[in-house]
Structure 1
Amino acid sequence: MSKRTLLVDDTQRELCTHGTESFPMTVSHDDFWDFEGKTVPIHWHSDLEISLPRKGKAIYQIYEKSYYLKPGEVLLINQNVPHSCHSSDNQPAKYSTILVRPDFMYGDFGSDVERNCFRPFLQNSAIPCVVLSPDNPSHCRMLEKLNQIEQLFDQKPYCYELKIKGLLCQVFTEIFAENQKICTHYIPSNQLELERLEQMLNYLNTHFDSVISLQQLADQIHLSREVCCRLFKKMTGKTITTYLEEYRTDKAFSLVQSGQYSITQIASMVGFSNASRFANSFRKHFGCNPGEYNSLKQKK
């Protein structure tokens, strides 16, 4: 069975539409091991994302901080926040995800609900995410509502759309109340930093198959090499070198699967300086050498 890939543009902005225009929310059920490299790569979107681990432990990387989640905990990721995730201990990790467009709840942009309730949260650089713990009684109530949303979406009983909207509004009302102090005097998110990250990712993703110098990358955003490195690490939690290695390895996966090219050819096609570096990176991401992959897959 082929592995799943996340559909993104050259800036890692997700292209997939969540839900429909008339009902802009959805619930998905996934396993990190269903994705290439057993990981969901760096991406972002304008929808709010609520992740509910169901089995195994998950690690989410948001900016420079890692969040280790287990079943019973919840992670809410704010809109336009770059994030990636994978399982820990090289074990499968199943999880459910609620994705919702904010205006599904607040209605028209500029409305009192959008301006007074949602905007101080959505555009708040101090709240890239919120963790809900079952040890907190108020969080338990929110978790129950989120589980109801998942059940309603899967079963689709009469008027499930209205019930889901009502539950989402209740959950976010509690989240906003809990973060009222931070929201009252909020610091607007730095749109320029996100735009610069988009420029860097666009350059890396379109030139991954050739030699990329740090100076060339820094020139794209008109910053020094040192500031460029710090900004990339701040926004993704990864160094530029690590990100580029992972991206090249993911690009090589389908080439290895095809069985049409030698390891040396694939290494050259995706930008590795030599076959040895490519083999080491592939083994680190997929647990075996590229030359062994197809034979191991056939034995399973």
Structure 2
Amino acid sequence: MDIKLNDIFNLSEENLKNINFKLNKSNQIEDPIFLFYTNKQRFVEYVSWKKGHYDKKAHFSKDRDYVGHFVMMPNSKHQWLFAGIFEIIGEYANSQGIIYEVKEVEKYKCFSGRVVVDYKKKRGYQGTKFKPETMIQEMIVAEILPDVYEGLEFEGYDNVSLTFRELKGLYAVESPSWKTALASVKGIYALTDKSNGKLYIGKADGNEMIWQRWASYISSYHGGDVALKNLLEEKGQYHFEQYFTFTLIEMFRSTVADDVINQRESYWKRVLDTRKHGYNLN
């Protein structure tokens, strides 16, 4: 039998009339779920900000004192992570819009970052803010995590494909499962620029394992590669965070000779033609 969200929240009819739900998903500037598990304070600031005219309150309704936040799960269109219920205690304006001062409600903190719900917006629903009187009856609990969500779990070397933001999040929290797996293997990887389909084929060999090699992209964006340096100068950091993905093509034990890694790197550059149609210059 399906468990509805309110089966565990137990919000009364009176409570529901004084709260809004806000569905937060990634945009071209920020990824709310990344902010949630790497910097909770920054997340609260982000979701409590309304850019625009001061007489419009797109994130919160004028007649409601609480807001419940949900963030879209990675690689999903209909699953949302509960991020807390917040009391609106004030507001102030700055040059860019309205900032809402909020305080998280203690009663629901134990569910924050742990409850994942299935919810598909109905056709015709616009915006991201909703009154929950009927919505909460349509939110089905998909999973209750044992611990607060800390990014994607490592699911094997055959399934390593991450956006720049996802990878950045794993490094920010030093995800134990990912760090243990990727810090112990050499490999061949592809960076994909989704804005144009171009690939960069790279390798991790010598004393540098995949985890260490990919760390250089998180810190510098270009990882020391000439073509990517040029792209960074031309397009900026935003281009990498918005369009680049990291995929592990081949994995090798740390004891495999570097000559083997070099040969496989050359092979993939050749068959994918990344010297002519990608970002490889040699």
TM-score scaled by length of structure 2: 0.31
Higher strand proportion (structure 1 or 2): 2
Higher helix proportion (structure 1 or 2): 1
TM-score scaled by length of structure 1: 0.29
